[in-house]
């Protein structure tokens, strides 16, 4: 008898399936490639309203997300479809802050305001700003680690979004966003200090 998959394994299998859809769009099998493109298009439409959100159900619910995590899984499906790029490396995980840090390296400190918005403690605001940020990352060909993003969003969109675990995740995002400054990335160190101080004091909204 096959043992049921653990929750971490189900999360991993779900995100792996998203990356498989992206790979499928490049398949020499034109039928399979077309089906994968259609799947990504349906997942993108989930941001068009509650009725369209149902288009993503068939790609999410087969992996049996816990009820408390359903919104995070559905959001990740839609976000992936907006920026379906494969990771550049399989070595280790990286947070959404690292992707935004790469954006900052390309665009300068204009990314600072958007990143500060991503540290919002309100789940609805976070979801909105994530969609905007994902589109911007896609326009600059910057990939996102959707495995790590799902794990983080389960906390940031959950009941404990103001708790200690959520605070640590925001700090991880901030660290990976700001650390590349040590390597000479353009930016204003004073502004970076202000952002981190606001995060620590809970003034970011």
**Residue 162: domain span:** 88-205
The answer on 71 and 114 residing in a single domain is no
Question: How many Å apart are CA 13 and CA 5, to the nearest integer?
Answer: 10
The answer on 98 and 65 residing in a single domain is no
Q: What is the mean pLDDT of residues 93-111?
A: 92
Q: What is the pLDDT of residues 107-145, one digit of tens each?
A: 988 899 999 999 988 998 999 999 999 999 999 999 999
Q: Could you say which of 22, 56, 84 is where a domain stops? A: 84
The answer on 137 and 58 residing in a single domain is no
Q: What is the pLDDT of residue 188?
A: 40
The answer on 19 and 102 residing in a single domain is no
Helices within the chain (DSSP H only): 7-24, 30-44, 50-53, 57-60, 70-82, 96-107, 111-118, 123-139, 146-156, 164-178, 189-201
Please report, rounded to a whole number, the percentage of residues in the chain having pLDDT higher than 70: 83
The answer on 104 and 21 residing in a single domain is no
The answer on 199 and 117 residing in a single domain is yes
Are residues 148 and 162 in contact, defined by beta-carbon separation less than 8 angstroms?
A: no
**Span of 35-39, 99-103, 158-162 with lowest mean pLDDT:** 158-162
Question: Does pLDDT of 187 surpass 70?
Answer: no
pTM: 0.84
The answer on 3 and 52 residing in a single domain is yes
Question: How many Å apart are CA 17 and CA 20, to the nearest integer?
Answer: 5
Q: Could you say which of 46, 63, 84 is where a domain stops? A: 84
The answer on 102 and 61 residing in a single domain is no
CATH number of the domain enclosing 161: 1.10.520.40
The answer on 107 and 80 residing in a single domain is no
Domains in the chain, number: 2
Q: Could you say which of 84, 102, 130 is where a domain stops? A: 84
The answer on 203 and 155 residing in a single domain is yes
């Amino acid at each position: 008898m096959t043992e049921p998959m653990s929750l971490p394994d189900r999360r991993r299998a779900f995100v792996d399936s998203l990356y498989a859809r992206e790979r499928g769009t490049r398949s020499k099998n034109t039928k399979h490639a077309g089906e994968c493109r259609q799947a990504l298009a349906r997942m993108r439409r989930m941001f068009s309203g509650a009725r369209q959100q149902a288009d993503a159900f068939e790609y999410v619910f087969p992996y049996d997300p816990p009820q408390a995590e359903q919104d995070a899984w559905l959001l990740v499906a839609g976000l992936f479809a907006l920026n379906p790029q494969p990771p550049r490396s399989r070595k280790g995980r990286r947070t959404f802050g690292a992707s935004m840090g790469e954006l900052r390296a390309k665009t300068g400190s204009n990314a600072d305001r958007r990143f500060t918005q991503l540290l919002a403690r309100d789940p609805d605001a976070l979801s909105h700003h994530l969609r905007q940020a994902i589109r911007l990352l896609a326009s600059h060909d910057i990939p996102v680690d959707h495995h790590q993003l799902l794990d983080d969003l389960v906390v940031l969109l959950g009941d404990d979004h103001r708790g200690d675990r959520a605070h640590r995740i925001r700090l991880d995002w901030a660290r990976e966003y700001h650390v590349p400054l040590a390597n000479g990335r353009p930016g204003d160190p004073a502004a970076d200090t202000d952002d981190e101080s606001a995060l620590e004091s809970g003034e970011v909204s």
